[in-house]
Structure 1
Amino acid sequence: MPQKPVEIVVYGADQLCPSCVHLPSSKETFEWLEAAISRKYTNQPYTITYVDIYNPPNEDDKSRFAERVIDEDMFYPVVLLEGNIVGEGSPRLKTIFAEMEKFGYQSAN
């Protein structure tokens, strides 16, 4: 079991990023990720949050990173796990799962 719940933050926007035309929207990716993680790590606590880069919450770290996504022309959605970028544009479940397992998460299946 994980030592403490990890925080996963998905940064994106309603409009698709110009280089991501054939990919799902940021919100769709967030929902897909949330479902996949909850299936894989049943009954293991974590938080997953969606942040609109053009309308970030009034939290310094989240609004600063949202600005960075825009300023650096990152491919969104950008997925952060405990503050580290683990996916950009088209995040890979395998990469995100591997990162979660470093924190003690164990596959339910």
Structure 2
Amino acid sequence: MNQQIELVVYGAEVLCASCVNLPSSKEQYDWLQAAISRKYGDDYVTYRYVDIYNPPNEEPYQQFAEKVVEEDMIFPVVLVEDEIVGEGNPRLKTVYKALEERGLSPSS
């Protein structure tokens, strides 16, 4: 595999109302990055964290951050490429499946 897969986590410093007992978006971003790196290595996935209340001034990040706020999505919202693979409490199994569908395989 020679192509980078982008994983983007949209979240905020404050916890969403539905996520009171869950880790923060940033903590879940760090957890996902560590778990994916352990299973697949560090070579083929790029990670980006986007604060939904202070997104970067570039597309598509700014537009999707606005969508998360406007549609009251439960954050963090996890995207692999342009596919939503998790909301609120992302499941590793779902994230792994999306990565593998894009050609990533576990490192040995």
Into which bin does the TM-score normalised by the smaller protein fall?
A: over 0.9
Q: Alpha-carbon deviation of 1:103?
A: 1.1
| Number of equivalenced pairs | 108
Q: Percent identity?
A: 56
Q: Distance in 2 between matches of 1:93 and 1:73?
A: 23
Which residue number corresponds to residue 102 of structure 2?
103
Distance between the aligned counterparts of 2:106 and 2:59, measured in 1?
33
Structure 2: 5+ residue stretches without partners: none
Give the secondary-structure state (helix, strand or coil) at the position aligned to 1:27.
helix
TM-score by length of 2: 0.96
Structure 2 counterpart of 1:104, which letter? Answer: G
Is the 8 Å Cα contact of residues 76 and 89 (structure 1) preserved in structure 2? Answer: yes
Unaligned runs of 5+ in 1: none
Aligned to 2:83: 84
Kept in 2: contact 1:44–1:105 (CA 8 A)? no
TM-score where L is the length of structure 1: 0.95
User: Following superposition, which runs of at least 4 residues in structure 1 exceed 4 angstroms of deviation?
Assistant: none
Deviations 1:44-65 (Å, cap 9, x if unpaired)? 3211100000000011210000
